[in-house]
Structures are given as structure tokens and as C-alpha cells.
Amino acid sequence: MAVKIEERGKAAPPSPTPGRSEDSNRVPWSRKARPYLILAPALLLTIGILYPFILAIIYSFTNYSFKYAGSEFIGLRNWTTMFKNPDFWHSLSVTLRYAFWATGIETVLGFAVAMLLNRDNFLARILRTVLIFPLMIAPVIATLIWQLMTNSSVGIISHWLRNIGISNFTWGANPHTALFSVVLIDIWVNTPFMILLILAGLRSLPQAPFEAAMLDGGSPWFTFKTLTMPLIMPALLIAVIFRLMLSLQEYAIIFALTRGGPGDTLMSLTLTAYTEAFTYKELGAALPYMLVLWVIIYIISNYMIKYWGNAQKRASGI
């Protein structure tokens, strides 16, 4: 009797559902391939970036030239020749000085103007729209506009300078003022970019801490020092990283204004590499200049991204 009760208490095994086969449990091919299809554009982009980069590294160890059909492996000859050449160190100095002055001045001006435009009034809205216009102009066109404005006979800026007693200002024709001239054009073209990025960061800040500081009687300087700067620092660093990387690679403004002159005054790394590759037709000798520039950008941007991460943690109260 006990055995019969136990058998009666056991659940019967589920009967197979009629019309259902094992194929219905398989995952469709389209669903399996979906992750790979999503990753395909990123993979193609990565290959498109890495292939010419690796090719440039390989060619930098050869005597590849546009003047000859073949090329031979020559080891570190291009690199040692570059490091021994005083023109390389001059180009490196020009690149770093240009990036420092352009990025530094644009950051200060961009932050100051963004603070002034962080208001909800008619004039601020109009100026925020007007500031976009310089970003629509190509750097080469902006340089040509500045050449017309600084022309000694018909330029409006030269006319203003004569009115205050400054005549025959040489601008890009003088080695002492050439760097100032190209940095000034860069500031006019790219400061609106900094303003818009910093202003977007200011507009996204939470208002509760500022309202609490106002109720507690905090001064404007105290609010700026303890609230605005720590909270805006991540957005400010992002803007600086973008501008610094682009300033280190700047080519169009310098080439359009002075072609790297007068003499070799403004021969940056990009212009030197261009001259070696397309004037002297020596691509193998030109590539080390660009790879050194890549190393500089990588080191600086990597350090600044780590600093940005720390600033974001501090702004979040971590």
C-alpha cells in the first residue's frame, strides 16, 4: 500500500507539446549576428585608423621617396638624422609655443566671455548666436580676411593703428611678430568654440548649491571659488583638451599666412613634415616628425584625461 501511495504522489513527466520541434528552441541567425553588426562600424573605423598609422611607422624606417619606385629598410637612420637636425628642435619649439599661447589665451577669454553670457537676457541670447559665425569660416579663409584687414594700404586694422600712432606694423612679415600674428588669427577663429563648450557646462550646473550659497549670504567671489570653479572644471578641461590637440596640429593658419616664414620662423612640426614629404619628396624622412607629434599629443592628452577624471570625481563629491 505504501508503494502504491508513493507512486501515486509522483508527478507525471510532462508530455511533449504537439507541433513543437527542437528547431524552435534555436536562436535565429539574425539575433546571433546582431552584436557583430553593431560592432562592425567601430571595427572598420579602428582598422581605418590603425592601418595608415602602422604603415607610417613601417615607412619611417625606410628610405621611401616619391622620386623613386622602390624603398629599402634603413633602420633608425631617419630618426637619428631628425634628432641631430637643429631644425627639428626649432620646429618642436614653434609647435609647443604656438599651442601654449593659443590654447591659454583662448581658455581665459572663453571662460570670461562664457561667464558674462551665462544670463537669460536679450543681449546674451543675441551674442550667443553671433559667436557661432567665426566657427563657420574655414581657417584659410579667416587668414585671408585678416590679411586684407591688416594690409598697410587698405586694411581697416592698419587704419586704426595709424590713428593711435602705430604705422607700418609688419605682422607676419617680421620674425618678431609672426607668431603673434598667427596666434591672433587662431584666437579670433577658435575662441567661440571655447566659449560655447564652457557656456554649455555653465548652463548644465545644478542651481541648488548656488541658491543655498545666496541664502547663506555668500559673496560672489566665495561662490565662484568654492562652487563655480570645482563644478565647471570637468567641462573646462574637455574644452582645453580639444583645443590643445588641435593647436598642436595646426597647419592651415600658419601655411596660409606665412608658409612657415619669414625664413623658418614658423616651421612647426606639421609644416616641416609637409615640406619634407611634398617639397623634397622624402616621405620616409617626413614621417618621424608626425610620429613625434603623435607621441606628444598622446602623452599630454592622456595626462589631462586622468586629471579630468579626478576633477569629475571632485565635482561629484567623491
- pLDDT confidence of residue 2: 46
Is 263 part of any domain? yes
C-alpha cell at 223: 561662490
- pLDDT confidence of residue 16: 53
Is 215 part of any domain? yes
| Residue 41 burial (10 A CB sphere; 0-12, 13-18, 19+) | exposed
- pLDDT confidence of residue 137: 85
Q: 112: domain CATH number?
A: 1.10.3720.10
| Interhelix angle 86-117/178-203, nearest 10 degrees | 40
Q: Which residues contact 168 (CB under 8 A, 6 or more apart)?
A: 152
User: pTM for the complete prediction?
Assistant: 0.83
- Count of the separate structural domains present in the chain: 1
- pLDDT confidence of residue 25: 58
Which residue stretches of the chain have pLDDT < 70? 1-25, 27, 317-318
Is 208 part of any domain? yes
Domain of 307? 89-268+295-315
DSSP string covering 138-184: -HHHHHHHHHHHT-TTT-HHHHHHHHTT-----GGGSTTTHHHHHHH
pLDDT tens for each residue of 250-304: 999 999 998 888 888 999 999 999 999 998 999 999 999 999 999 999 999 899 8
Is 212 part of any domain? yes
Is 115 part of any domain? yes
